[in-house]
Amino acid sequence: KTIDETQKNSYMLILLLFSAGLFFEYICVFQDFDLAVIYVSDALYNRNIYFDTSPQAVRLYQLYNHWLPRVLVYFFILVDLSLALFEEPAVVPLPTWATMLVELLCLLVFTIRLGHYAKVIPRDKFWKDPKNICIIVILLLTLIDMIIYGALTATDCYGVRWSRVLRPLLLVNVTEGRQLRRAFRSIRNALPEIFYVFLLFMFSILTFSLMALKLLGKRGLKTIDGFPYFTNYLEIVFDLYVLVTTANSPDIMMPAYNSHVIFTVFFILYIFINTYIFMSAFLAVVFNNYKKYLKEEVRQLVKSKRHKMVRAFAILQERREEGGEPVVTQANWNQLVRLVQPGISNPHRELLWSVSDDKNQGFIGKLAFVQLADLLNIEVITLKSRPHPLQSLCPAFYLSAPSRLLCRLVEHRAFVIVYDLIILVNAVFIGLDEENPMISNSEWFFLALYLLEILLKLYVFEPRIFFSKHSFWNWFDTIIVISALIATIVNSALKSAGGYTSRQILDIVFILRVLRLIRVVDSIQRFRIIINTLIRIGPAILTFGQLILVVYYIFAMVGMELFKGKVRFYDENSSNPAKAYCGNSLLNESVFAKSNYCKNNFNDVVSSFILLVELTVVNQCSGFATVTHASARIFFVLFHIVVVIIILNIFVSFVLEAFYVEYSVDKGDLQTALEKKIEELELAVAQYVPDNLVNNMETIDNDLGSGQTPTAAKPALMFKIASKRYRTVDAFLQRMFEADLDPEDFAENEDPEAQTNGNFSNPTFSSA
Amino acid sequence: KTIDETQKNSYMLILLLFSAGLFFEYICVFQDFDLAVIYVSDALYNRNIYFDTSPQAVRLYQLYNHWLPRVLVYFFILVDLSLALFEEPAVVPLPTWATMLVELLCLLVFTIRLGHYAKVIPRDKFWKDPKNICIIVILLLTLIDMIIYGALTATDCYGVRWSRVLRPLLLVNVTEGRQLRRAFRSIRNALPEIFYVFLLFMFSILTFSLMALKLLGKRGLKTIDGFPYFTNYLEIVFDLYVLVTTANSPDIMMPAYNSHVIFTVFFILYIFINTYIFMSAFLAVVFNNYKKYLKEEVRQLVKSKRHKMVRAFAILQERREEGGEPVVTQANWNQLVRLVQPGISNPHRELLWSVSDDKNQGFIGKLAFVQLADLLNIEVITLKSRPHPLQSLCPAFYLSAPSRLLCRLVEHRAFVIVYDLIILVNAVFIGLDEENPMISNSEWFFLALYLLEILLKLYVFEPRIFFSKHSFWNWFDTIIVISALIATIVNSALKSAGGYTSRQILDIVFILRVLRLIRVVDSIQRFRIIINTLIRIGPAILTFGQLILVVYYIFAMVGMELFKGKVRFYDENSSNPAKAYCGNSLLNESVFAKSNYCKNNFNDVVSSFILLVELTVVNQCSGFATVTHASARIFFVLFHIVVVIIILNIFVSFVLEAFYVEYSVDKGDLQTALEKKIEELELAVAQYVPDNLVNNMETIDNDLGSGQTPTAAKPALMFKIASKRYRTVDAFLQRMFEADLDPEDFAENEDPEAQTNGNFSNPTFSSA
């Protein structure tokens, strides 16, 4: 064979391979469009699941992310957790077989969900993820516990359902519990530092206790109950620990103070060092660590988001010219956005495109494409002017002079002030005795005034504007007033029918009446800012709510096993002599019984939760040590350390950081470049709209059909950025740390290390 | 006259003027050297007094800054404040004329000091400064009050010494109270933001109270004392306010909870919103404002410091060549530094010069000169190796094999561990009953061990190293052990002499024994870091101590007028029946009397202060409302708002920020460029020193006479930066915000606006 032929063959081969490659690429583009959509929506919602890219796995993955199975999982977790209401010690006792059956059903659902997850992600990834191992272990342990417990109860032995403490851990380890896992990781990362401060704090308490023992133990002082004062070292340690929580101040100091004034120096020094210095140090350590690790996590999140967008870009990219930069065309982009967010309006999409395609080229590069996830996360309200329906129906009347005057009156600032005054007068009337007929009849008058206000506003403003999605206070007002009207009518009807007043309905009426007063807050600008800040950190507070739920549940389960039935509550009308000492003769004449704390017990899950809330506020637990053993205090000290020293400090850290961001944003410091871009464009759009129309806008988020050409609609359209709202908690967190994120981080995405390590790994308990 | 002659005349005139100018300049340089020294030391200690630059005023200003008059002023303020101990209601009663005479003396001292100040600064500046006006008003009001009070007591009328509340304000307005004024300014600047959050908070409390009244008022519930529960609106408001401080939790909730479990929802919601959300919001608002304004103040401080250095430079500057940059020669610089810090060692000064004169030119420019104040603020420890005195005295013995082994043993890590274990065993022995003869005799054994430890260390380490300025723990150890030894001997001597044991001496022995245990903390690295952080923020905490003193003093004075004698304490052995109700029949059967709180009263200034500390921890005040009027609660609520919501939050903010800086510094983030420069140089110096000598160094801060040439001393010298110590609180604050300070700020100093506004204006109450 000649060299020529070989060369020709190889040319042929290359050509063949090339054309095959082109064809394959063609197929892939259409097959992979789904994949691109999934990558973008994962980036949008910050999902971090490393799924298989086979078409079958992708379909399964789409099903996995469907809202229905996710809601179902949460529903069954809720059912599983609320089983505690029906199990021994129960609020509503159910037979054991019934609760066991329901629990088995729950376990089945979790197993199916986990199986589904196993199908979606590669086998090796599945087994490497501690989250999954954790769920499997929990499921197995629960099953074993149920079998043992079933066997024990069948043979009439005493069994403990110890696996109940594992239940809340499902909430942590379920795929959707990302926020909660992050909070737990923050805590775990801060633990070493907290631990050393805690050791020092304990050393300080132990030293002070030793000094108290030597100084006060031998003086023969007595506590108020006549017990010897500061004679037992462990008792002193516990008492001084409780003093840190301020629960027994100043009682613990009084015997020493009564003996001599100089001993107050000891206590004041103790309180200063331990309550103020050490507690501030705990907060400082938690705050610093929280900030540090959260920043790192958010950085990882942003990196992974960008990487997913780069993957989507790789699928959709085309080359305009030979050797040019790969780009995505407007057609592909439009189709992608439509699939990712089916509800998006055409003008909104057009706006996003014009932000991305700054130079109006018809295609965008990688950098502009990667922004898409952030762009979609900015909530844009599309406004369109629309006349009042009455104006359309009866223009002569609606546009007449008296009608116009009425409109002007209602729109005037004085209208708001008058109604604020009415609310204040109403508040006074509510405070007065409602059995006075004058007062109770005045309620009708106020109700009429409030109804009139709503009707007037509906007359002046377009109803669809008035009841738009973002008009929280209008909705609040209307619902409260109408509910109050209904409840008041029902109440009067009942009263006039049989002279009978339902306490429940009356309570509802009262609550509604008082809630009506809250509206005053909205009319003061300064208050609105503070309230908006508080509302905005709301979703993140929900994460802490879950965290608290997990910790409370575990402590409640343990507490119920330890203390159930030790303290009993007797009804006020009960004549049982045990009532005076909460049904436990050990409590006779104790402060616990005398303070009427009998209902603070661990006899069922509801009481336990209420008691744990009380313990969070003030650590009052002397009663439980009395009825069981002094070592029971360990339970309460542990609870204080976990909830007050760790979790509440994380909560305060979060609020501090959130307020800091909100205050900075209010001063215009943290406006992102992205939002500024849209703002510029919004102004450009707004130029078409006459100024006086701005107040007469309507949200038409899903209103414009695709048949309508966006250019034609533009003159009457206006965009408004709800920049302070975030669709996801992650977006809010990202905003919090945006100032510290390297904008050049994007470049690092090509880094192979980052691809394998940072991006698609599920952040789990082991990842930091 | 010809033109020539005119020209000649004018030439002559110019020459004459020029030579006169030169002569004048020559005089000025030597006369103004003092002025330059004052500018630099003002910059060093951050003094901001706009003094007259006439030679006479400069001399007065030097006297004004002398330590003696400053200490005297503080002493007389202390005397003035402590007069409260001797005035009615007194701890140690003195006749009115005696306290009045002392107070007159104090007023005289303050007047003289103010007069001195008036001589130092220009007249118009004096009258523009609210600080001075404030002092004059306080002095006048006090004088008027004393006259009125004297007249009233002379005619046997009842008089109130109302001007006593003004006394602590002297502490704020005295020239040296800069830190305190800054803290007050921080508070005042944060007030508007706090106020709006507070209004919202009060609105929340009022709304919740109204709801509580409507929901619970009509149910006929009873409190534990049998009073009607939640029937009076104002009582509810107060009770719910106290619930925010957690003082009456869960008592306030129990009647409702006992009635029905659903009411806990109300209380839990209340506690969540008001105790957790609002209290965190207060902290967040205070923290943000504190950071913001403190940063601005420190910026002003740095600007003013730089400007003073620029002034000093302007006095000392020379021109090397025609048209060249003005410079300061090494000779002038050396003289200046010697005058500013007379105690500085030659090598240290040489080091600073070599940092400033980077290129070894023999002169420095403006930029390098301005750094001087910061350079002098960095505490540099000069180390010099020196053999052990025993080695010099008896080298054959000290360098023998057994002696060397002993040294190696003592220097070994195990030696520390063995002594830590001894301390732990000692702790157990202290905890045991000391009346057991075995235990009490073991004390001698432990004392011997501790003494042995100190002697061994003195044998191994050079005594002057062991007792060097920075060896806090060695000093601590030695003082504690020797004091314990003396006290134990005295105690035993007393006991064996007459079988009599002095309780006071025994107490001291006990305290010393327990204090000895603290040493354990120092041997654990992690603890040392935390403790060092706490010690480092110590000076700043002193400022808060003064702040608290001012607020407590004012509240104590008002409280004593309102509540003195209303509650009486009877000794335990008293048989007076009034003992059961604290001498006030209104308190019969009240919780206050039953809890034995009688000693918590406002009957003298010491009791008042102790009570105020208790109120800071937990707001227990029901007793005082009972003995006077329900409106007395306003006093306690006001105290809570001022101390807990404002001052404690500022304190926590400070600790948070300080910990943040300390943690960042530990990780090497905030090392300043200046310190790095010296570090580089330190390494250069350290190269001459063999490594094994480093552990045998000695501080010789003032040791090297000026006769010794620094170059000759160098090989055995080493510099160490005590970078974590700050000579002044300002330096620490500056460090805290250094990262945010614009390094180019220096350029702005030439700005005329900055010169008149920012630089020399005394930061006062009106300046922000």
Listed as own residue / partner, the contacts of A414-418 with beta carbons closer than 8 Å and 24 or more positions apart are A416/A523, A417/A523
Which of B644, B663, B682 is where one domain is finished? Answer: B663
Of A427, A595, A599, the CB nearest to B257: A599
Task: From chain A, pick out residues whose CB is under 8 angstroms from the CB of B534.
Answer: 277, 281
Asked if the structure places residue A532 within a domain, the reply is: no
- What's the rounded Cα separation, in Å, for the pair A302 and A746? 9
* pLDDT at residue A679 in the model: 62
- What whole-number distance in Å separates Cα of residue B565 and Cα of residue B602? 7
Q: Which of B709, B43, B31 is nearest to B349 (CA)?
A: B709
Question: What is the tens place of the pLDDT at every residue in B375-413?
Answer: 777 666 666 666 778 888 888 888 888 888 888 888 888
Q: Are residue A496 and residue A566 in the same domain, yes or no? A: no
Say which amino acid occupies B230. F
Distance CA A187, CA A650 (A): 8
- Say what the pLDDT of residue B487 is: 87
* Distance from the B307 Cα atom to the nearest Cα atom in chain A, whole angstroms: 30
Query: CB distance B531–A261 less than 8 Å?
Result: no
Please give the pLDDT value at position A143: 94
- Report residue A719: phi and psi, to 5°: -105, 145
The residue of chain A with its CA nearest to that of B611 is: A250
> In terms of domains, do B414 and B495 share one?
yes
Arithmetic mean of pLDDT, B335-350: 82
Please compute the mean of the pLDDT values over residues A551-562 and round it to a whole number.
92
Higher local confidence (pLDDT), B123 or B371: B123
What's at A82, amino acid-wise? Answer: S
| Closest chain B residue by Cα to residue A434 | B214
CB A181 within 8 A of CB A172: yes
* A710: its two tokens: 């966006």
pLDDT digits 0-9 by tens, B670-705: 345 555 655 665 554 443 333 333 333 333 333 333
| Nearest neighbour of A196 by CB, restricted to B258, B527, B595 | B527
Is the pLDDT at A145 greater than 90, yes or no?
yes
Question: Of the candidates A714, A352, A660, A89, which has an alpha carbon nearest to the alpha carbon of residue B287?
Answer: A660
CA quadruple A503, A504, A508, A511: dihedral sign: positive
Residues A486, A567, single domain; the answer is no
User: For residue B511, what are the CA distances in angstroms to A266, A490, A729, B503?
Assistant: 11, 72, 53, 12
Closest Cα to residue B476, out of B439, B431, B520? Answer: B520
Measured between beta carbons, the chain A residues lying within 8 angstroms of B487 are none
Task: Give the residue from chain B lying closest to A219, CA to CA.
Answer: B503
Query: Are A253 and B614 in contact (CB < 8 Å)?
Result: yes
Residue B510 shares a structural domain with residue B552: no
Confidence tier at B334 by pLDDT (50, 70, 90): confident
Which residue of chain A is at minimal alpha-carbon distance from B243?
A617
Whether the predicted pLDDT of B137 surpasses 90 = yes
CB B116, CB B69: distance < 8 Å: yes
- In-domain check, residue B445: yes
For B481, the domain range is: 396-523
| The pLDDT of residue A740 | 58
Report, as an integer, the average pLDDT of B700-724. 43
Could you read off the pLDDT of B625-679 as tens digits, one per residue? 888 888 888 899 999 999 988 889 988 988 888 787 776 654 433 345 555 655 6
Question: Is it the case that residue B768 has pLDDT exceeding 50?
Answer: no
Those residues whose C-beta lies under 8 Å from the C-beta of residue B104, and which sit 6 or more positions away, are: B146
User: Is B182 within a domain?
Assistant: no
Whether residues A596 and B258 touch (CB distance < 8 A) is answered with yes
Same domain, B449 and B550: no
As a whole number of angstroms, the distance between CA B26 and CA B30 comes to 7
Contact B257 A200 (CB under 8 A): no
| Residues B745/B302, Cβ–Cβ less than 8 Å | yes
Q: For residue A261, which residues of chain B lie inside 8 Å, CB to CB?
A: 606-607, 610
CA distance, residue B263 to nearest chain A CA (Å): 11
pLDDT score of B348: 77
CB B214 within 8 A of CB A510: yes
Contacts of A277 in chain B (CB under 8 A): 534, 655
Contacts of B196 (CB under 8 A, 6+ apart): A526, A527, A530
CB contact under 8 A, B660 and A288: yes
* A430 contacts B249? CB cut-off 8 A: no
Contact A659 B284 (CB under 8 A): yes
The interface predicted TM-score (ipTM) is: 0.84
Residue in A251, A617, A652 closest to B595 by CB: A251
Q: How far away is chain B from the Cα of A314, in angstroms, using its nearest Cα?
A: 39
Query: CA of B525: which chain A residue's CA is closest?
Result: A196
How far is B262 from B259, CA to CA, in rounded Å? 9
> Which residue blocks in B65-122 are alpha helix, DSSP H?
67-82, 96-120
Portion of chain B with pLDDT greater than 90, in percent: 17
**What is chain B's length?**
768
- CA-CA distances (angstroms) from residue B613 to A264, A282, A633, B720? 10, 22, 27, 42
CA distance A618 to chain B (A): 7
pLDDT tens-digit series, residues B244-293:
888 888 888 888 888 888 899 999 999 999 989 999 999 998 888 888 88
In a domain, A138, yes or no: yes
- The owner of tokens 């790192």 is A296
Shared domain for B603 and B564, answered yes or no, is yes
* Average pLDDT of the residues in A263-277: 92
3-state secondary structure of A393: helix
* Whole-angstrom distance, CA of residue A563 vs CA of residue A317: 65
CA distance A526 to chain B (A): 7
How large is the C-alpha radius of gyration of chain B?
A: 33
The chain-wide mean pLDDT, for chain A, equals 79
pLDDT tens for A457-490 read 888 887 877 887 767 788 888 999 999 899 888 8
The structure tokens listed for B145 are: 């009050």
Domain C-terminal end among B638, B663, B688: B663
Instruction: Identify the domain boundary among B147, B174, B201.
Output: B174
* Nearest-angstrom CA–CA distance, A517 and B203: 10
Q: Do A285 and B620 touch (CB under 8 A)?
A: no
SS (H, E, C) B28-49: HHHHHHHHHHHHHHHHHCCCCC
Q: What is the distance in angstroms between the Cα of A746 and the nearest Cα belonging to chain B?
A: 25
A756 to chain B, minimum CA–CA distance in Å?
Answer: 29
- Stretch A643-661: mean pLDDT: 86
pLDDT of the residue at B608:
92
Contacts of B268 in chain A (CB under 8 A): 610, 613
pLDDT of residue A31: 60
Residue B488 carries which DSSP code?
A: H
Give the residue on A whose Cα is nearest the Cα of B520: A203
What confidence score (pLDDT) does residue A515 get? 87
d(C-alpha B170, C-alpha B151), whole Å: 25
More confident site: A152 or B578:
A152
Which member of B261, B276, B610 has the closest CB to residue A606? Answer: B261
From the list A288, A530, A660, which residue is nearest B197 (CB)? A530
Which ranges of B317-436 would DSSP assign to H, the alpha helix? 330-340, 346-356, 366-370, 372-377, 389-393, 395-398, 401-411, 413-431
Residue of A nearest to B600 (CA): A254
The larger pLDDT score, comparing residue A378 to residue B476, is at: B476
C-alpha to C-alpha distance for A431 and A442, rounded to whole angstroms? 12
Give the span between the Cα atoms of B137 and B160, in whole angstroms. 19
Residue pair B653/B282 in contact (Cβ under 8 Å)? The answer is no
Place of tokens 């030579």: B19
Whichever domain contains B512, its CATH number is 1.20.120.350
> Chain B: nearest CA to A629, how far in angstroms?
23
What residue type is assigned to position B262 of the chain?
Answer: I
Comparing A501-515, A550-564, A745-759, B16-30, which segment has the lowest mean pLDDT?
A745-759
What CA–CA distance (Å, rounded) separates B717 from B382?
7
Task: Verify that A543 and A627 share a domain, yes or no.
Answer: yes
Average pLDDT score over residue span B69-92? 90
Give burial (CB, 10 Å; 0-12/13-18/19+) of B680: exposed
Examine residue A761 and state whether it is found in any structural domain, yes or no: no
Q: Which two tokens stand for residue B527?
A: 């603890």
Q: Are B499 and B581 in a shared domain? A: no
Tokens of A252: 């613990």
Residue A241 lies in a domain: no
Q: What does the pLDDT read at residue A719?
A: 59
* Chain B CA closest to residue A216: B507
Does residue B683 lie within any of the structural domains? no
In terms of domains, do A498 and A573 share one? no
Question: Domain check: are A464 and A563 in the same one?
Answer: no
Q: How high is the pLDDT of residue B723?
A: 47
User: Are A594 and A643 in the same domain?
Assistant: yes
Q: What are phi and psi of A699, to 5 degrees?
A: -85, 130
Nearest CA-CA partner of B301 in B213, B244, B377: B377
B271 in any annotated domain: no
Structurally, how many domains does chain B consist of? 3
Query: What is the phi/psi pair of residue A268, to 5°?
Result: -65, -40
Confidence check: pLDDT of A684 > 70: no
Q: Closest approach of chain B CAs to the CA of A198, in angstroms?
A: 10
Instruction: Give the count of Cβ contacts less than 8 A between chain A and B.
Output: 202
> Are A249 and B614 an interchain contact pair (Cβ–Cβ within 8 Å)?
yes
Residues of A in contact with B572 (CB under 8 A): 258-259
Does the structure show a pLDDT above 80 at A704? Answer: no
- Sequence-separated (6 or more) residues with CB below 8 Å from residue B208: B240, B266, B270, B274
Contact A595 B254 (CB under 8 A): yes
Both B595 and B507 in one domain: the answer is: no
